Structure 1
Amino acid sequence: MKPRTTYACLALALTLAVGCGGYGEVSPVAYDYAMALYSLSNQKAADRVPAVAEQVEASHQAGDLSDREARWLQGILSDAESGDWKSAAKQARRMMEDQVKRGAANR
């Protein structure tokens, strides 16, 4: 399977899974990437997508992102890479909002 096809399948699976239950708790590193992805998606900054994708992969390889977080972020990146800015922004925002909701629930 080609990498682009793999990412498309992964993005679809993540969209279905995330759409139903939301994102689980993520690390501060993953949250920061979600903020960056939300920003670049709103700006439709296609030129910034490859750099963020490389940074996500490097953070994952370094152990700063869990496998789950990396998959979620790669799903958002896949939408951005394909120019689906609305979906990428929506998913990134959802990831951030879910963390805020979790923080409020834990008080």
Structure 2
Amino acid sequence: MFNQFKTWLNLTALCLILGLCAWLWYQSNLISSLKAKNLTQSQTIQQQRTVNQELTIQLNQERQATEQQKQIEVELRNKLKAEQLNVKEILVKEPCGRTNMPNTVIDSIKRLHK
């Protein structure tokens, strides 16, 4: 009877040891797969950071270019207004600037309607 108990105890210990080995093997594989997934995710995050930095730089360059274009537009509008005022002043000073012009545009439109 003692031999049978010893055999049963040995088999139980063997099953327990094999079970623990299988559990450890499973956990080791799980940890390895999680480490690989973590590494992949960290690489993706780093790539996204790099892309975001490049996009931020590009956005700042585009803002600067837009601001420069706005400044150029304002300068050109100011020059245009100054030239318009200059032409008005010249026309007012000239004798032909005080004479009424014939209303040929309205006459032309009336002729087209007929």
After TM superposition, is the score higher than 0.5? no
Structure showing the higher helix proportion among its residues = 2
- Structure showing greater radius of gyration is 2
Which TM-score bucket, shorter chain as reference? under 0.3
Normalization by structure 1: what TM-score? 0.22
